[in-house]
Amino acid sequence: MLVLVAPGQGAQTPGFLTPWLELPGVADRLTWWSAVADLDLVHYGTEADADTIRDTAIAQPLLVASGLAAALALFPHPAEAFGQVGAAAGHSVGELTVAAGTGAITAESAMALVRERGRAMAAAAQVTATSMTAVLGGEAEEVLAKIAEHGLTPANNNGPGQIVAAGTIEQLAAFQADPPAKTRLVPLSVAGAFHTEHMAPAVERMGQLAKGVSARDPRVRYISNRDGHVVHSGREVLDRIVNQIANPVRWDLCMDTMRELGVTGILELPPAGTLTGIAKRALKGVETFAFKTPDQLDQARAFVARHAEDSDPAPAASSNWRLVLAPFSGTVQRAAAVEGSVLEPGDHLGTVVSPREEQKLVAEHGGTVLEWLVEDGAAVTAGQPLIRIHPRAEVFI
């Protein structure tokens, strides 16, 4: 199974977009997205220095644009990708890259949202002097306990041996003087405490904007930063992206879900290297590919072909039906909905239960039940199709 991943802020380097402009159509596409983002992406991706592109309002649109441009170079006909990619996940702002790549929102919507996301987060960071520090090594429980002791937030949990603490400059200074045992602390060059309560004003702004964005169910299994759940609703994808701005990124749980899905290959979109590096440590035996420059296109296509062979067809469905997917591994408890039942939007379909949590399943768009694909009480895995529904006609207008 092939999983596509998109990195978050901090992965960008000066000039990293330069080679991509040599590909036909990329400069035109970036010029269009520059108009949407109200930012000269070509300039910032080719000529600007490291300090300039570290600015949140510049870095975030640059990351999303580069990831989408590379994805379109790899899959010139996006519909072909839906049958080859088994799942997709983005780290932090990379979730907007993946939302557009899986068809949950348009590229234009992603660029407009990331423009406002970057501006809103930069503004929120000006209210209080905050930052972030990477904690490398140590025992996870001890690291988390020490972070809490200093009033900090574990803003990114990136798996074994890598947790990022975030909070005020004073809190981080005290943390630096009293680190967890057997760890190395690395202050990050970022403009604020992202994915913490300090970003609440940005959530409010983005929530207002997201209400007007059209969303469709993703055509590929979408793995959410919040908890590693597979999300099949486009509206929920968008809501989660908005709320994630002020909540920790659980990349460790995303990787757990990839493992459950049976991932064999992870391809990281540019500016690549960060997430494949994490995967090499956390997902032993899984082949990785850091897609950095266009001269790797033939290698990237070969990598896709090698790992797409065992991928399931795109789970989202056709224009005639929709699938409801299991958000995580557990047991299904079916509700009264049976074949032929007519459902209203939001009707209860059943529940997926695990020892750790449970989640209700709903018919987001309403429609008619075509068939259940699992028996009541059956054990299911993350992303497994559970029920097929013929949606209400207005969904496709």
Catalytic residue among 92, 224, 233, 329: 92
Quick check: is 92 catalytic? Answer: yes
Output the 3-class SS for the chain. Answer: CEEEEECCCCCCCCCCCHHHHHCCCHHHHHHHHHHHHCCCHHHHHHCCCHHHHHCHHHHHHHHHHHHHHHHHHHCCCHHHHCCCCCEEEECCCHHHHHHHHCCCCCHHHHHHHHHHHHHHHHHHHCCCCEEEEEEEECCHHHHHHHHHHCCCEEEEECCCCEEEEEEEHHHHHHHHHCCCCCEEEEECCCCCCCCCHHHHHHHHHHHHHHCCCCCCCCCCEEECCCCCCEECCHHHHHHHHHHHCCCCEEHHHHHHHHHHHCCCEEEECCCCCHHHHHHHHHCCCCEEEECCCHHHHHHHHHHHHHHHCCCCCCCCCCCCCEEEECCCCEEEEECCCCCCCEECCCEEEEEEECCCCEEEEEECCCEEEEEECCCCCCEECCCCEEEEEECCHHHHC
Quick check: is 365 catalytic? Answer: no
Catalytic residue among 150, 195, 232, 365: 195
* Residues with a known catalytic role: 92, 195
